[in-house]
Structure 1
Amino acid sequence: MRKLGSVFIVLLLASLLVACGEEETGDAAIDEKNIVVGVTSGPQEEIAEVAAEVAAEEFGLEVELKVFSDYVLPNTALSEGDLDLNSYQHGPFLDQFNEDHGTDLVPVGKTILNPMGIYSETYESIEDLPDGAKFGLPNDPTNGGRALFILEEAGVITLEEGKAETASIHDVVDNPKNLEFIELDAAQIPKQLSEVDVAAINTNFALEAGISPKEDSILLESTNSPYVNYIVVRAENEDDPTVEKFVQAYQSDKVKTFIEEEFQGSIIPSWDE
């Protein structure tokens, strides 16, 4: 019995040591010379590439970019430790992700505003929409709510009081044009624009499809939008000096100039706002 007891104690101590080691690993500082950053394909990737150049030039920080094609995986990868930070999302989306997944991801620096646009292949103005027009909008909660908020700001619909940024199609209380709301995958809306009368498209997907938010939209999100994008990390790395270096690299004059020259107002630097 003593021998079995001794074995049990040894196993218990070993388990505690492993647990402590795992906890320490989870709270470990990010590598001072190398960092892994998640971005979505398109403009976010292009801008991050310039930020990576600045990080290397100014801080000797090597940045590896991992590119994703959807809005969920970059946060999943970050929360699981496969990324050191990511750069692709606005605040309401981050809040909703944390709530839905029980994660603790935090914003550490503003990046850009991708003003969502409303587009139509048939109509030149939002006022021209006929009664019962089909309106395509993203099927994820935050971007769908964002599209509805744009319509409300333009006086096209009225949302239930207090909903605003978190609204769904079920929160529309006044719809004078009797718009028919059709929820679609955000990435596919540019390809499905001809199948609806009008649609809300995220800027990155619009640009990938050769659509200019500034030139082609019939209604563009206002510049006082709450949907500014952020650099995001796990809470334990919020004050990490390596993260701060990347934030500074991103918020540099070189990156700002690139955004203004490359996107001509379709994407707006937001850290000085």
Structure 2
Amino acid sequence: MKKIASLLSVCALALGLTACGSDNASTKTEDKKELKIGATTGPYADMVNEAIKPGLEDLGYKVEIVEFTDYIQPNKALGNDSIDANLFQHKVYMENFAKENKLKLSDLIVVPTAPMGIYSSKYKSLKEIKDGASLALPNDPVNLARALKVLADEKLIEVDPDVDPLKISEKDVTKNPENIQLKPLESAQLPRATESVDLSAVPGNFALAAKMKLEDALVLENMPDLYRNVVAVNTKDVDAQFAKDIKEVVKSAEFEKVIDRKFIGFGKPEWMK
């Protein structure tokens, strides 16, 4: 009987320790006051530093910004808990990346985003475009669809109305009255391409990285929220207090003031309009 009692006591102690450990684990995230937020070098690292970090610090957080120069490592770092959140991608990219890499990531909130623009060193207006003008545009499916939608919105081309606007490709172009010559290129090459083609459709982040001004574009896209950047977190942290506080800061009046003052040309998401 003594042996049984001793065994039961050990088991109870073990269960108690496990329960305590579980409680500590559950409160660890809730009590987190030191955050690491990843962002790509450039405007989105600046957005975290100038528009998000100050608000979090006012709420008692210590914030470290971790900068990345590619679109792979920010999600890898988030997935292995090296960082707590990141800002550099739209929801479509995040979901595809998470699926391909077996990660559980969630979008927390949509933020103002630099839109794609059509730039030219030859024309000052889309009305000046001549027959056979050459236009460089992204060669990846997502950004290609965005560029073609801009052209369609500006009545430069027509596309099959039965095709999802988010998935249109060159084969879906039904009319091209100006005989615009489409030249797909890697997005990173598009800013430089403005010197060798008549027009270039450049995603906002690449334009800003090349020191191009959004307001210098002949036209900026009417970007759907699906393509605006999001603050992403691990799905397990969606309801954590730090995640709620990030949303609170992004929704604050002070955040919008910084955007209006320092991020001119960035398209605002629907919830800010």
TM-score (norm 2): 0.79
Write out aligned runs for 1:230-249 (5 A): 230-249=230-249
1:230-258 CA distance string (max 9 Å, x none): 11112221111111112222332222111
Write out aligned runs for 1:74-223 (5 A): 74-160=74-160, 161-214=162-215, 216-222=216-222
* Pair 96,226 (structure 1): closer, same or farther in 2 beyond 3 Å: same
C-alpha distance in structure 2 between counterparts of 1:199 and 1:31, whole Å: 48
Superposition deviation, residue 100 in structure 1 = 4.2
Superposition deviation, residue 229 in structure 1 = 2.1
Could you say what the CA RMSD is over the residues aligned between the two structures, in angstroms?
2.8
Superposition deviation, residue 48 in structure 1 = 0.4
List gaps (5 residues or longer) in structure 1: 1-20
C-alpha distance in structure 1 between counterparts of 2:240 and 2:49, whole Å: 21
- Are the counterparts in 2 of residues 38 and 68 from structure 1 also a CA contact under 8 Å? yes
Return the index of the structure with the highest Cα Rg: 2
Superposition deviation, residue 226 in structure 1 = 4.3
List gaps (5 residues or longer) in structure 2: 1-20
* Pair 82,187 (structure 1): closer, same or farther in 2 beyond 3 Å: farther
C-alpha distance in structure 2 between counterparts of 1:229 and 1:93, whole Å: 10
Q: In the alignment, what sits opposite 2:12?
A: none
- Are the counterparts in 1 of residues 39 and 66 from structure 2 also a CA contact under 8 Å? yes
Superposition deviation, residue 124 in structure 1 = 1.8
Superposition deviation, residue 86 in structure 1 = 0.9
Q: Secondary structure at the match of 1:165?
A: coil
Q: Secondary structure at the match of 1:75?
A: helix
Q: In the alignment, what sits opposite 2:260?
A: 260
C-alpha distance in structure 2 between counterparts of 1:46 and 1:104, whole Å: 26
Q: Secondary structure at the match of 2:174?
A: strand
- Are the counterparts in 1 of residues 145 and 167 from structure 2 also a CA contact under 8 Å? yes
Question: Where in structure 1 do 4 or more consecutive aligned residues deviate above 6 Å?
Answer: none
Superposition deviation, residue 222 in structure 1 = 2.3
Superposition deviation, residue 136 in structure 1 = 1.4
Write out aligned runs for 1:22-33 (5 A): 29=29, 32-33=32-33
Superposition deviation, residue 132 in structure 1 = 2.9
Superposition deviation, residue 269 in structure 1 = 4.0
Superposition deviation, residue 117 in structure 1 = 0.9
Paired AA for residue 188 in structure 1 = Q
Q: In the alignment, what sits opposite 1:52?
A: 53
Paired AA for residue 78 in structure 1 = L
Q: Secondary structure at the match of 1:231?
A: strand
- Are the counterparts in 2 of residues 138 and 144 from structure 1 also a CA contact under 8 Å? yes
Superposition deviation, residue 188 in structure 1 = 3.0
* Pair 189,234 (structure 1): closer, same or farther in 2 beyond 3 Å: same
1:143-199 CA distance string (max 9 Å, x none): 222111111111222333223112233433332333232222323321222122111
Q: Which moved more, 1:238-247 or 1:167-176?
A: 167-176
C-alpha distance in structure 2 between counterparts of 1:168 and 1:71, whole Å: 23
Paired AA for residue 138 in structure 2 = P
* Pair 75,272 (structure 1): closer, same or farther in 2 beyond 3 Å: same
TM-score (norm 1): 0.79
State, as a whole percentage, how many aligned pairs show the same letter: 30
* Pair 71,176 (structure 1): closer, same or farther in 2 beyond 3 Å: farther
1:67-109 CA distance string (max 9 Å, x none): 1223333223323333221112223333443454444321111
Q: In the alignment, what sits opposite 2:250?
A: 250
Paired AA for residue 108 in structure 2 = V
